[in-house]
Structure 1
Amino acid sequence: MTDVTAIPEHVSIWGELADVDHVLKHVQVDGVRTRVLQAGAGDELVLLHGTGGHLEAYARDIAGLARYFHVTAYDMVGHGWSDLPDTPYTTAVLSDHLIGLLDALGIERAHLSGESLGGWVVAWTAAFHPERVDRVVLNTPGNIANKPEVMARMSESTRAAVHDPSDEVVRRRVEFLFHHKEMVTDELVNLRRQVYSRPGFRQAVENILVLQDPRVRKDYAWDPTWVGKVIAPTLLLWTDNDPTGGLDEADMLLGWLPDARLHVITDAGHWPQWEKVTQYLDVHRTFLLERRDPE
């Protein structure tokens, strides 16, 4: 008799998607070939990954979210297997790419959930394109206080992994995202190695990392003057072991956002969507499907 308990909880990215009807395709967004994965039915939900990332960051969540939402995960411009145009990928550029993607996919309005850099792009989009946004989840958005040491660490580790996409160096970059580093798989590391080895990615990473340069960042930095324009109901999804920012920074955002609440996932790092799948799914389902009585 087969001992099914020997099968690990996470086998592979394909294992997570094996029983989920989904479409993986590329669409043109203002001339940028953009890689997109879609699954499920229901309210529109768009997922945005972090700095140097790709849509596989959400591989463990697609099946669970697709039970309740029409889910779109994608590689932001200059990331993953989307095109790498030689231009600085500022928050405004990434937000414009998101709006262009919604247009290309025929999505008028959507819930937006972004992790790390993706959370920054989501907040910027909600502030400047409120008509396209229903509800917002800012998942470990990171370094709200614009700390130079956090910017330097992010720049150095990302640039090092792109210039030397060896197992050792890239694994160290991926492990930075995790509290439980034993959860980092060879598959995840090798996917990131493949992305970082793409022709043109050395230039792309410089365009990605402009937001870690204080001289550029000052025009997009988290600040109440624009954050206060986010009228969409917002969930701050924090963890207790995020290396990019603590709960003091969550408190800052709570003070700036007109309609926000905080949920903390414990025993997790920068990627709760991978480390704590059940909690991540539960909080998304509860918050995004909540119906408020009209005032």
Structure 2
Amino acid sequence: MATGTRLRPVGDQDVRLRHRVVHGYRRAYRIAGEGPAVVLIHGIGDSSATWAELIPGLARRSTVLAPDLLGHGASDKPRADYSVAAYANGIRDLLGVLGIERATLVGHSLGGGVAMQFAYQFPEHTERLVLVGAGGVGREVNPVLRAAALPGADLLLATLSWPGMRWPTRLAIELMRLLDTDLGQDAPDLLNLVDALPDATSRSAFIRTLRAVVDWRGQVVTMLDRCYLTQGMPTMLIWGSRDSVVPELHAHRAHAAMPGSRLEIFEGAGHFPFHADPARFLALVEDFVDTTRPADWSAERWRDLLRDGRSGTTLAGPDAAYEAVVERELRAESERSAT
């Protein structure tokens, strides 16, 4: 891959879906531009199309790769492992097929958890992290997702595809928007999620993915226990102040647990801040890439971090109270997965 920063225009034809077969499964992705690699990882039930408005701008100076995760979008939807670790492996393998050695990872929601997992599993391939409304920072999550993880939820989801159901679904979502609820801030994206589950195969993949990270009590996967490993890796956190899926509190927890991280809050935005203000989001990511050096990984330094553990890290945050919040959350992790 080229490593220069030459600007060049990117047209819509450059971000069309492409496909590669990896391990026997078709993987869909969009790729554009040239220069240092930036990988955009979408959230649950979403696809690479969520980044469509941002890809041309980022591609002026970067090689931008936006995959459809397995089980999502135009990628295959097999009966498979949909854990965050498996998704991280899938990103690694796609990068290998495309000849990309290292990348800045931008992950939204579930994709944020995948990005963090990728950085943990493959630090030698990770230059920077941008976590957007990321999962894995606390148990709290929207009750709708907790309910969707319950047995029988797939039957309820199936009713959304029945003839005549789109109108009342649209009406309910529009009502949430008119009432100015936090969830209503993401009304268009909620409709896209419903449209993304048109058949039993799509719904099965969605449920399998959801149950890998959420149960009736909330999120079941945590990254807080390994956040100290981001020491020396440029990390930026972006959150909407009205995120009803993964609350803003999680942004401050992650910020406190990640040494040297940068926190940006989009006031009034919901779970999709890059849709609420794409120009600001693009400017932040470009500035972050331009003003930070890629993580300087070495096997020796990684061993030292692991040996020192969290005892070698000083938590940082807007005030000392965040340290106590993170400590309490970590003490509650005994029933949660450290995958």
Q: 54, 66, 71: which is aligned to 1:73? A: 66
Query: Which residue number in structure 1 is paired with residue 119 of structure 2?
Result: 126
Deviation at 1:68, TM superposition (A): 1.9
Cα distance in 1 between the residues matched to 2:159 and 2:261: 39
- Aligned partner of 1:153: which letter? V
Q: Which deviations, in whole Å up to 9, do the C-alpha atoms of 1:115-153 show, x marking residues without a partner?
A: 100001001111221001101100111462112xx2542
Query: Which residue number in structure 2 is paired with residue 9 of structure 1?
Result: none
Question: Which gives a bigger RCO, structure 1 or 2 (Cα 8 Å, sep 6+)?
Answer: 1
Number of aligned residues: 270
Query: Which residue number in structure 1 is paired with residue 318 of structure 2?
Result: none
Cα distance in 2 between the residues matched to 1:21 and 1:236: 28
Query: Which residue number in structure 2 is paired with residue 266 of structure 1?
Result: 267
Query: Which residue number in structure 1 is paired with residue 144 of structure 2?
Result: 153
Does the 8 Å contact 1:170/1:192 carry over to 2?
Answer: no
Cα distance in 2 between the residues matched to 1:70 and 1:178: 34
Deviation at 1:251, TM superposition (A): 1.9
Query: Which residue number in structure 2 is paired with residue 179 of structure 1?
Result: 185
- Matched residue of 2:185: which SS? coil
Cα distance in 1 between the residues matched to 2:46 and 2:26: 16
Query: Which residue number in structure 1 is paired with residue 30 of structure 2?
Result: 37
* Change beyond 3 A, Cα 1:285–1:156: same
Query: Which residue number in structure 1 is paired with residue 20 of structure 2?
Result: 27
Cα distance in 1 between the residues matched to 2:91 and 2:279: 27
Unaligned runs of 5+ in 1: 1-16
What do you get for the CA RMSD once the two structures are aligned? 3.0
Does the 8 Å contact 1:45/1:70 carry over to 2?
Answer: yes
Does the 8 Å contact 2:105/2:126 carry over to 1?
Answer: yes
Query: Which residue number in structure 1 is paired with residue 230 of structure 2?
Result: 230
Question: Which structure has the larger Rg over C-alpha atoms?
Answer: 2
Q: Identity over aligned residues, as a percent?
A: 29
State which drifts further: 81-90 or 102-111. 81-90
- Matched residue of 2:291: which SS? coil
* Change beyond 3 A, Cα 1:173–1:37: farther
* Change beyond 3 A, Cα 1:199–1:246: closer
Deviation at 1:55, TM superposition (A): 0.8
- Matched residue of 1:113: which SS? strand
Unaligned runs of 5+ in 2: 1-9, 297-339
Equivalence map 1:169-248=2 (5 Å): 171=170, 179=185, 181=187, 184=188, 189=191, 192-210=193-211, 211-213=213-215, 218=220, 220-224=221-225, 226-231=226-231, 232-248=233-249
Q: TM-score, normalised by structure 2?
A: 0.71
Does the 8 Å contact 1:55/1:74 carry over to 2?
Answer: yes
Does the 8 Å contact 1:116/1:139 carry over to 2?
Answer: yes
